[in-house]
Structure 1
């Protein structure tokens, strides 16, 4: 195991929160089924959840030689913005089902916080690689 794979390394600070965001995105995707939602909230949760899960999975993918190609901040930033949309969605659509509202608020807040942690980890990794 290399020093880069330790629990305090910047790569793990970016990849682990992104992996959790991918799991939460999957919950958002399936929440309409498990909470028996109805209306536009279910359709938009499927689209947003699938996008969050895909983007976060890309951000969490760390082959042994480093991150996947592409700007490392873009994927977590997209997930962060979509997390804010997930929080606002039940209020914009006037959703009456409290379970769907709270599911979106809690899942969206977790996506925002964990995506911010992934952005921070990516910034630290970029600082470390530019110094090396």
Structure 2
């Protein structure tokens, strides 16, 4: 009886440790090719602009808000108006909340919107 339970647990563990793999099936028409090229460009931009590092994101957000605030101050001085806003008015508190960028999932959604098909398959997990 213990051997049967052990065999069942081993099979269960094998299936639970499986990973999903996505295969993109591309269409051959020109419209799809143009659309999929747009998806690839978006993916490259996503990967290039993705800031997973919280410190880097915060520094970039602070720099951007300071530049925007200085521009506001200059405009007010030129107009002769009063400076009513503060620096914190230009900070977006949710800007660095996204901890990960899932560019691959965005790419897959884009390909599907172009008319492509993505098949999901379960595969055994790679051994580390």
Q: Is the pair's TM-score, using the shorter chain for normalization, greater than 0.5?
A: no
Considering fraction of residues, name the structure with more strand.
2
Structure ID, larger Rg: 2
Greater RCO, CA 8 A, separation 6+: 2
